[in-house]
Amino acid sequence: MEEQSDFSKHQTGTLYLVPTPIGNLDDMTMRAIQVLKKADLIAAEDTRHTKMLLNHFAIDTREISFHEHNTEQRIPELIAKLESGMTIAQCSDAGMPSISDPGKELVAAAIDHQIPVVPLPGANAGLTALIASGLAPQPFYFYGFLDRKPQQQEKELAALVNRPETMIFYEAPHRLKKTLKVMSQVFGDHRRAVLARELTKRYEEFLRGTLAELVNWAVNNQIRGEFVVLVSGNDHPATTESDEVTLPVDAQIDLVIKDGLKPNAAIKKVAKANGLNRQELYRQYHHLDGGKQ
C-alpha cells in the first residue's frame, strides 16, 4: 500500500497534471494558469501548440516536448528533474492528460519513484458531450479511439455490444463515416447515438438520432472537426448460454424471447443448451398435461 499526502515532507519536486481547453480558451481555470506560471518546466505534447496557450495567458515558463513518439527517451530525463526538486506541469494539446493523450507512462514512473502526482480538474471532451447528449449520463463507459482498421473495429465493438452503459468514443473527421458504418453493422441500425462536434468552439454541433440516421448524415455531408461519438447502452443484452443455464428453464425461455426470438425458437434454443427434450420443455413451459415438473 502506498500513501500520497503532505507534499512538504517530500524531498522531490511534484508532477502536476494540467488540463487545457478543448476549444474555448476561457475554459482555462485560474489554478491551471497559476500552476503553469509557477512550474519550473512544462512537459507539452506539442510545444508549438502549447506556446500559443502560454502566450495568451502571459506565461513564460520553459517547455519541453513530451509526446507518444519520445516517451521512452523523455521519461528518465523528466524523472531525474523531478528527483532533483523541479516542479513539472504536464499537459496535452487539449483536455486531460492521459485520456487518449500522453501522460500515463510518466504518471506511473513518478509513482514508482515516490514522486507526488497532483491532478488538476478541467475540460474533458467526453464528459462535456455526455451531459448534453440526452443519453443516460450514468453509468457510462469511456472507450476513446477505436482501432483504425474496420476489421479490428468490428472485434472491439462486438465485445461491447451487450454493455448497458452509454459508451463514449473519440473519432477523427476523416474516419468518422467508416466508423459509424461499422457501429451500425455491429450495434444495429436502430441503436440511439449522438455526435458531438467541435465542442466549446464557434461551430459546436450536436447530432442526435439512430446509428442509421447518423450514417446517412455522414454520407451526405462534408465532415469537419473532431468528434465525440456517444452510443446508448444495450437495454436488453443477450444472455450467454452459460448465463441461461444458471436460471430456471422457464426464466431462460423468457429471456431469450425478450431478446427477440419467437417462443418456439426460444424453447428449442433453451432445450439444446440444457440437454432437454424440446417437446417436453414445450409442454412444461405452456403448462400442458404430461409436461415434466
Give 28 or 241, the one with higher predicted confidence: 28
Q: Do domains 7-119 and 125-231 have the same CATH topology?
A: no
pLDDT at 204: 96
pLDDT bin (cut points 50, 70, 90) of residue 293 is: very low
- Letter for the amino acid at 212? A
Which strand ranges, in their side-by-side order, compose the sheet holding 227-231? 140-145, 166-171, 227-231, 192-197, 205-210
What's the Rg (C-alpha) of the chain?
26
pLDDT beyond 80 at 185: yes
| DSSP type of residue 20 | B
Third-level CATH fold of 7-119: Cobalt-precorrin-4 Transmethylase; domain 1 (3.40.1010)
CB 50 within 8 A of CB 44: yes
Look at residue 2 in the predicted model and tell me its pLDDT.
Answer: 67
Confidence category of residue 123, pLDDT binned at 50, 70, 90: very high
Angle, CA of 62, 66 and 72, to the nearest 5°: 135
CB 34 within 8 A of CB 16: no
Residue 230: band (very low, low, confident or very high) from pLDDT cuts 50, 70, 90: very high
Q: What is the CATH topology of the domain spanning 125-231?
A: 3.30.950
**Model pTM score:** 0.77
What average pLDDT score do residues 126-135 get? 97
Worst-scoring range by mean pLDDT, 97-111, 202-216, 273-287? Answer: 273-287
Q: What is the structure's pLDDT at 236?
A: 78
The lowest-confidence range among 145-154, 200-209, 265-274 is: 265-274
Pairwise CA distance, residues 133 & 206, whole Å = 8
- Rounded to whole angstroms, the Cα distance separating 133 from 218 reads 18
Q: Average pLDDT, stretch 205-227? A: 96
> Could you tell me which of 66, 116, 106 has the C-alpha nearest to residue 86?
116
DSSP string covering 124-177: -HHHHHHHHHSS--SSEEEEEEPPSSHHHHHHHHHTTTT--SEEEEEE-HHHHH
Q: How high is the pLDDT of residue 278?
A: 84
pLDDT of 246 strictly over 80: no
66 or 268, which is more confident:
66
Does residue 279 have a pLDDT over 90? no
Tell me the sheet residues that pair with 205.
197
More reliable by pLDDT, 120 or 261? 120
In sign, the C-alpha dihedral spanning 164, 165, 166, 172 is: negative
pLDDT of residue 8: 59
- pLDDT tens digit string along 1-51? 666 765 656 789 999 999 999 999 999 999 999 999 999 999 999 999 999
14: helix, strand or coil = coil
User: What per-residue confidence (pLDDT) applies to 247?
Assistant: 63
Quick one: how far is CA 11 from the chain centroid? 36
Q: What is the pLDDT of residues 67-109, one digit of tens each?
A: 989 998 999 999 999 999 999 999 999 999 999 888 899 999 9
| pLDDT at position 238 | 66
Listed by start position, the domains of the chain span 7-119, 125-231, 241-285
